[in-house]
Amino acid sequence: MSYFDLIHSRGHEGVFFCADPAAGLRGIIAIHDTTLGPALGGCRMKPYVSEANALTDALRLSRAMTYKSAMAGLNLGGGKSVIMLDSPAQKTPELLKAFAERICLLKGNYIGAGDVGSDTNDLRVLHQHCPYITGLAEEDGGLGDSSILTALGVFKGIQAAVKEKLDRDDLDGLKVAIQGAGKVGFHLVAHLLEAGCEVAMSDINPAALAQVKDAYPSVKICQPDELLALDVDIFSPNAIGGTITEEVAKTLKADIVAGGANNPLASEGVAAMLHQRKILYTPDFIINAGGVIMVACELEKKSMAEATRKTLDIYDTALQVFDYAKRRDLFPWDAAQHLAMIRIQETRATGYHYGRGSSASRPLVGAR
């Protein structure tokens, strides 16, 4: 399949390859859909095994951002950028400046934020050279760490899944396996323990696990394979994408899969396999939307309180998706995608399309 065939097959509006040999920049900016507003998505900076792998990552993640923003009720489209690094040392101020200048070439049709391999320090440098950056630290005029609200949204999604699958309004005594002890996983532990859950966790980073254990001694620390074999009520993927393969789905011992990782299913066929095994998969782009809600509120100069209020609505959104899935005999992932596309298509029907001009107008999320 050619690059153009790959791009067309996912419905993308465009992909921008950017380079600066002197700075060592090799980047890709993918814009999936700008019907609702400018394409917002994080700047992912990490090593990739190939350019094709980097492109596939940008395409999958940007499409998920379209659905995420649409289902969160935001006036934003879906985008994502990736920078191919040979090593962390390659992420220099010069490289970040070069990348910021490339983002500026898109004149606000893409807005960058934090992601894997980029933090608020990187975003500060990017923002110094380009206004189309959000997710800034509080001292830089932003709302701070978006992982806090991402974790809150995941927790509300878990509550909704428990209501749907187990017909319970509480989580007391439920067993939860968390894959990934990064920022989202760390904050999620606090919510689950406060709700009375028994929590087990794994990560490939021993230091991250040690931090969790120091803060929450009751958490059971496991090896990655051991975690997958546990008999639990809820399996929560909060690490990198693609960890739930067909092999994992065949043997997973859980009633619910709900986590903050983007694209945790290795393929769309895994969703069918989980459904056949009567495991409720809670779509990732529904419940991990707290972060994008927060950065959208930052763009609109709204408060952290407003961002928190919108994040709490993830509970009702998840229940809406489950109900729609049952009524239409769909997998929850497909149901969520359908609902997102309904909003986008209804917007197009009004004659409005942010990215292509419009015969109608409305308030927009704008760059800083």
- pLDDT confidence of residue 92: 96
- pLDDT confidence of residue 78: 97
| Ordered per-residue pLDDT tens for the chain, 368 residues | 788 888 888 789 999 999 999 999 999 999 999 999 999 999 999 999 999 999 999 999 999 999 999 999 999 999 999 999 998 899 999 999 999 999 999 999 999 999 988 999 999 999 999 999 999 999 999 998 899 999 999 999 999 999 999 999 999 999 999 999 999 999 999 999 999 999 999 999 999 999 999 999 999 999 999 999 999 999 999 998 889 999 999 999 999 999 999 989 998 789 999 999 999 999 999 999 999 999 999 999 999 999 999 999 999 999 999 999 999 999 999 999 999 999 999 999 998 888 776 544 443 443 33
pLDDT single digits (tens) 83-132? 999 988 999 999 999 999 999 999 999 999 999 889 999 999 999 999 99
- pLDDT confidence of residue 191: 98
CATH topology of domain 147-289+318-340: Rossmann fold (3.40.50)
Q: What is the largest CA-CA distance in the chain?
A: 58
Q: 152: which 2 tokens?
A: 């809150």
3-state SS string for the chain: CCHHHHHHHCCCCEEEEEEECCCCEEEEEEEEECCCCCEEEEEEEECCCCHHHHHHHHHHHHHHHHHHHHHCCCCCEEEEEEEECCCHHHCCHHHHHHHHHHHHHCCCCEEEECECCECHHHHHHHHHHCCCECCCCHHHCCCCCCHHHHHHHHHHHHHHHHHHHHCCCCCCCCEEEEECCCHHHHHHHHHHHHCCCEEEEECCCHHHHHHHHHHCCCCEECCHHHHHHCECCEEEECCCCCCECHHHHHHCECCEECCCCCCCECCHHHHHHHHHCCCEECCHHHHCCHHHHHHHHHHCCCCHHHHHHHHHCHHHHHHHHHHHHHHHCCCHHHHHHHHHHHHHHHHHHCCCCHHHCCCCCCCCCCCC
Q: Where are the domains of the chain?
A: 3-64+76-140, 147-289+318-340
Q: The whole model's pTM is what?
A: 0.91
Amino acid at 328: R
Q: How many Cβ atoms sit within 10 Å of the Cβ of residue 167? A: 7
pLDDT single digits (tens) 32-88? 999 999 999 999 999 999 999 999 999 999 999 999 999 999 999 999 999 999 988
- pLDDT confidence of residue 164: 98
Q: Which residues are catalytic?
A: 80
The answer to whether the 3-64+76-140 and 147-289+318-340 domains have the same CATH topology is yes
Class in CATH terms, 3-64+76-140? alpha beta
Q: 39: which 2 tokens?
A: 């394409």
